[in-house]
């Protein structure tokens, strides 16, 4: 087996605290579009029309139509081997945490529990009047709360702040982990884009899983050039066989 894969498997086995940062590429094998690839969402749609508080204020029906389309894709597919192996790793290693920028909810669905969804979840909505959170109904049109208030997707839009507790915990994990793995993210969106340099500055072994170079590749000690749904199972099989 490839020595770099072996190195990461051994590091996982010895790690007290591992932080795995995931992005859209981890869900690509489930058929969920990424944001900046060839068929990426931001190549076809404009952020300012669909993913800002102002866009929702101007045209909530349009914004909901887009989120319902995305939710339909997510509910019509399923977690892939990257999600299921990460959930297995979380069961095996009590110090492993996942911080995800993804809003599809697939890590939770696959069984990961030490999980921080720093961009929220499109599986959940929040009432603009009473603040209640509830599962997003898959239905055409604008959904409403039982109190009569309009629901919005419980995701973080551009110009909004990230959930404070989840962000704080992510930063602490980045500072305290001894192994940091970034998978399927272009490393272009803050604050997650800075997590690897924080981890590296505090002495963690840094690993990138991505088929192509990214904005943060130069901060990674180990580069695993491949697709997350194949790389994670390969690491898992080393752990199963040899350690």
| Catalytic residue numbers, as ranges | 119
User: Which residues in 195-214 contact ligand OAD (CB under 6 A)?
Assistant: 209-212, 214
Phi, psi of 134 (to 5 degrees): -150, 160
**Which one among 19, 20, 50, 51 touches ligand OAD, defined by CB under 6 A?**
51
Least CB distance to ligand OAD at residue 33 (A)? 8
Looking at beta carbons, which residue is closest to ligand OAD? 25
CB 145 within 8 A of CB 151: yes
Of 180, 202, 176, 204, nearest to 192 by C-alpha is 180
CB 183 within 8 A of CB 209: yes
The upper half-sphere exposure of residue 111, i.e. CA atoms within 13 Å in the direction of its Cβ, equals 12
CB 75 within 8 A of CB 138: yes
CB 180 within 8 A of CB 205: yes
For 163, the token pair is: 């959930």
Q: What is the 3-state secondary structure (H, E, C) of 194-230?
A: HHHHHHHHCCCEEEEECCCCCCCHHHCCEEECCCHHH
> Where does residue 52 rank: exposed (0-12), middle (13-18), buried (19+ CB within 10 A)?
middle
What is the distance between the alpha carbons of residues 177 and 173, in angstroms, rounded to a whole number?
Answer: 6
Please, which residue, 43 or 242, has the CB nearer to ligand OAD?
Answer: 43
Q: Taking CB under 6 A as the rule, which mask of x and - marks residues 123-162 in contact with ligand OAD?
A: ---------------------------------x------
Least CB distance to ligand OAD at residue 230 (A)? 8
**Which one among 8, 12, 21, 29 touches ligand OAD, defined by CB under 6 A?**
29
CB 1 within 8 A of CB 238: yes
50 binds ligand OAD (CB under 6 A): no
105 binds ligand OAD (CB under 6 A): no
**Which one among 15, 185, 206, 219 touches ligand OAD, defined by CB under 6 A?**
185
How many residues contact ligand OAD, by CB under 6 A?
28
Scanning 32-40, 69-77, 126-134, 196-204 for contacts with ligand OAD by CB under 6 A, the matching segment is 32-40
Complete DSSP assignment for 93-126: -TTEEEEE---S-HHHHHT--SEEETTEEEEEEE
Least CB distance to ligand OAD at residue 107 (A)? 13
Q: Taking CB under 6 A as the rule, which mask of x and - marks residues 56-95 in contact with ligand OAD?
A: ----------------------------------------
25 binds ligand OAD (CB under 6 A): yes
- The reply to whether omega before 87 is within 30° of 0 (cis) is no
Least CB distance to ligand OAD at residue 147 (A)? 27
Kindly list the residues in this chain that would bind ligand OAD in the complex (CB under 6 A): 23-25, 28-29, 34-37, 40, 51, 101, 119, 156, 183-186, 188-189, 209-212, 214, 227-229
């Amino acid at each position: 087996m490839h020595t770099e894969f072996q190195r990461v498997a051994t590091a996982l086995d010895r790690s007290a605290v591992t932080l795995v940062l995931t992005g859209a590429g981890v869900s690509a094998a489930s058929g969920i579009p990424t944001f900046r690839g060839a068929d990426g969402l931001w190549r076809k749609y404009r952020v300012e029309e669909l993913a800002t508080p102002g866009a929702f204020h101007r045209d909530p029906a349009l914004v909901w139509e887009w989120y319902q389309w995305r939710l339909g894709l997510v509910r019509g597919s399923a977690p892939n081997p990257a999600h299921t192996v990460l959930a297995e790793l979380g069961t095996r290693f009590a110090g492993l945490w996942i911080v995800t920028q993804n809003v599809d909810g697939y890590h939770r669905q696959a069984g990961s529990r030490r999980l921080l969804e720093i961009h929220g979840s499109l599986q959940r909505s929040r009432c603009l009047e009473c603040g209640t959170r509830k599962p997003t109904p898959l239905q055409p049109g604008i959904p409403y709360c039982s109190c009569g208030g309009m629901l919005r997707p419980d995701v973080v839009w551009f110009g909004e702040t990230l959930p404070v507790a989840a962000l704080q915990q992510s930063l602490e994990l980045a500072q305290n982990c001894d192994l940091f793995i970034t998978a399927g993210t272009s490393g272009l969106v803050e604050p997650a884009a800075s997590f690897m340099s924080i981890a590296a500055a505090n002495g963690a072994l840094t690993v990138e899983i991505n088929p192509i170079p990214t904005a943060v590749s130069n901060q990674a000690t180990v580069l695993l050039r491949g697709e997350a749904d194949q790389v994670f199972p390969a690491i898992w099989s080393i752990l199963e066989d040899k350690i």
